[in-house]
Amino acid sequence: MSSDLNGARPGGTTGSEALIASVPSAEPATAAGPKGMAGLAGRWWAISETLTAYSFLAPTIAFFAVFMFLPIGLGFWLSLENSSGFGVSTFVGLANYRAMIHDPIFWKTLGNTAIYTILTVPSSVLIGLAIALLLKDEFLRGRNIYRSFVYFPMVISGVATAIVGGWMFNENLGVADKFLAAVHLPTIHWQSSSFPAMMSLVVMTLWTRVGFNMVIYLAGLQNMDSSYLEAAAVDGAGPWRRFRRVTWPMLGPTTFFLVVMNVIYSFQVFDLVYVMTGGGPSNSTNMLGVYAYQQGFIENQQGYATAIGMALFVLVLAFTAIQWRVSRHRDLA
Amino acid sequence: MTPASTTSVSYSMRRGRRSWRITRHVITIVICAVMAFPIYWMIVTALTPNSDLIAGVAGYWPRHFDIGNFTQAFAAQPWGRWFLNTVLVGVASVLLTVSTNVLAGYAFAKLAFRGKVLIFFLLLSTMMVPIQVTMVPTFRITVDLHMFGSLWGVIIPEVAAAFGIFLSRQFMMSIPNELLEAARIDGAGHVRTFLRVVLPLCKPLIAVLVLFNFMFRWNDFAWPLIILKNPADYTLPVGLLFLQGQYTVNYAQMLGMALVTILPMLVLFIALQRYFVEGLLRSGIR
């Protein structure tokens, strides 16, 4: 692993801890200026430091003000409006949220999002861990090439992934059914029945996501103190016991970080579902993120779409809050 | 415990038995084959005439190296134009995003000012906001600013992303303050210190930022889909969706063009792999 970028890396401190640890302290780093500068010169230096900081931040603040903070504020307002996009909007209070509670498709997409999350997160994290354990050994020949094969799909767009997935799981012409037929198994209706369609999405998700989990686990394993493992081996613990009693507990923070990240990705899935199944057959693979887009830009129910977006936001916030809570407790322990 | 026993334990743990070593290679090769299969299947499909695919007579390997699918696709849709659009979006976004990120990262890492904690926290917290919350309002703002339907409408709103600010700040914290103080004692002001001392040390950071931002924009789908209406302005992912929406889907052409759109990313990945890994490890955020 090259160390061009020195400093903390996940494993010892997971990304989540880094996020917390990285909130800057109020203490001025260089407020007093160079040593020996006092009085007027020192004060002038501090003023110019503040001016420099704000001018360096000005472009960032401008972009965020117009394209992030203003939209978030408008979003809250918009979710209280009945709006078709180009016509006149009327304030309807909580009507969009009430409609959401009575919308069976909203509940269906929420349930599908939950199912998709349950089907993708534990599997991708555990497979990532298994491959990391398999490929961590510094004596394994060609391990760098093997690793590349596992994580290269992360650079492939969701759309391209969906297109190749849709083709491999094509109901009449796909290679998945071809394999099944070759070994005399019944072929599966990947596109016209609900659960197989969901499974085809899960498989393509694993393809792009396992590599990310493997990379983070490899870093965690590398930062692990191997003397515990060696001590366990001296005490006669076999490979499974060594894993169960030493490696797995020590990777706890890494696993936790990966579970939270993967949950957040799964909640927000859009590209893959929209292009590969379009949410079909009959909404059985439709998810919250896709449904919000359909409502906003196909059905032109922009207020309702934003209300669905808010529901998604609440879910993501809840998980982030859990993560912060747990990692803070761990830091204090 | 004697040194000798430590060595033998480590040795047996690390090297394992010969049979296990062979088994491990076999398992690993199977995993690699599974991971590579979708790409292989794209290549096979792209080299097969669509009529063979529809008739179900195509095999597991290409029977002839027919590049007709590519020439037909290029004749049917403006792929050159879409390619150029995507490159333009990528380059413009990278210039804007990376320059603003590096400036902001320096302010957060090395300068003292009022409101630092609050501003940093506000910017960072936007990383959790799903696009579905902001897509409609941002769409309207983009319309009001007369950027709807144009490539600027794709480029500008997405500069507001906290990923690179966080990464820049983390990196610049590791630059020793003594270096900055030395520059100041030599009479350099804040701007000069940043340009002459800090920026030259940030080459690895900038490499990671350029690479990741370009990849994000190259693969970006939801926002261009919302903003671009005229087929001539499409980026590659939106163009692929357009191809999929045709009345009769030509699988051979579609898979061929999907392959073409991922090739630049695969080449970048092979050439700059360690930067991808570094970026992932440094941020933990895709």
pLDDT digits (tens, 9 = 90+) for B211-252: 999 999 999 999 999 999 999 999 999 999 998 887 778 899
pLDDT higher than 90, residue B200: yes
Q: Where in the sequence of chain B do the CATH 1.10.3720.10 domains occur?
A: 78-283
Residue from the list B56, B156, B258 with its beta carbon closest to the beta carbon of A163:
B258
Rounded CA gap, A253 and A230, in Å? 21
Domain with A154 in it: what CATH number?
A: 1.10.3720.10
Interface contact A289, partner B, CB < 8 A: yes
Confidence band (pLDDT; 50, 70, 90) for A38?
A: low
Helices (H), A268-301: 271-276, 288-293
- By residue range, what is the domain housing residue A253? 99-332
Interface contact A253, partner B, CB < 8 A: no
Tell me if A120 sits within 8 A of A287, measured CB to CB.
Answer: no
Whether residues A215 and A266 share a domain: the answer is: yes
pLDDT higher than 70, residue A6: no
Q: Which residue of A has its CA nearest to B7?
A: A230
Residue A175 lies in a domain: yes
Whether residues A252 and A322 share a domain: the answer is: yes
Confidence band (pLDDT; 50, 70, 90) for B198?
A: very high
pLDDT higher than 60, residue A275: yes
Q: What is the pLDDT of residue A20?
A: 36
Q: What is the ipTM of this complex?
A: 0.89
Please give the model's pTM, rounded to 2 decimal places: 0.86
Confidence band (pLDDT; 50, 70, 90) for A37?
A: low
Residue A74 lies in a domain: no
Tell me if A135 sits within 8 A of B28, measured CB to CB.
Answer: yes
Interface contact B208, partner A, CB < 8 A: yes
* Token pair recorded at residue A289: 């993120």
Tell me if A216 sits within 8 A of B283, measured CB to CB.
Answer: no
Residue A22 lies in a domain: no
Q: In whole numbers, what is the pLDDT of chain B averaged over residues? A: 88
How long is chain A? Answer: 333
Residue A240 lies in a domain: yes
Give the highest mean pLDDT range of A11-20, B1-10, B138-147. B138-147
Partners of residue A19 in chain B, C-beta under 8 Å: 124, 166
- Give B 67-126 residues with CB within 8 A of chain A: 99-101, 103-104, 106-114, 116-117, 119-124, 126
Residue A79 lies in a domain: no
Indicate yes or no: CB of A71 within 8 angstroms of CB of B134: yes
With 0-12 / 13-18 / 19 or more C-beta atoms within 10 angstroms meaning exposed / middle / buried, residue A317 is: middle
- Give A 9-38 residues with CB within 8 A of chain B: 9-10, 14-16, 18-19, 22-26, 28-31, 33-35
Q: Which residue has the tokens 């400093």?
A: A7
With 0-12 / 13-18 / 19 or more C-beta atoms within 10 angstroms meaning exposed / middle / buried, residue A173 is: middle
Whether residues A45 and A158 share a domain: the answer is: no
Q: Is A228 helix (H, G, I), strand (E, B) or coil?
A: helix
B78-283, CATH topology level: MetI-like fold (1.10.3720)
Q: Which residue of A has its CA nearest to B119?
A: A61
Beta bridge partners of A81: A91
Rounded CA gap, A303 and A85, in Å? 8
State pLDDT tens for residues B242-276.
Answer: 988 877 788 999 999 999 999 999 999 988 888 88
Partners of residue B241 in chain A, C-beta under 8 Å: 159, 275
Rounded CA gap, A165 and A285, in Å? 14
Amino acid at A298: I
Residue from the list A24, A56, A261 with its beta carbon closest to the beta carbon of B103:
A56
Indicate yes or no: CB of B156 within 8 angstroms of CB of A152: no
What is the CB neighbour count within 10 angstroms for residue B276? 22
* 3-state DSSP percent of chain B in helix, strand and coil, to 5: 80, 0, 20
Residue A75 lies in a domain: no
Residue A12 lies in a domain: no
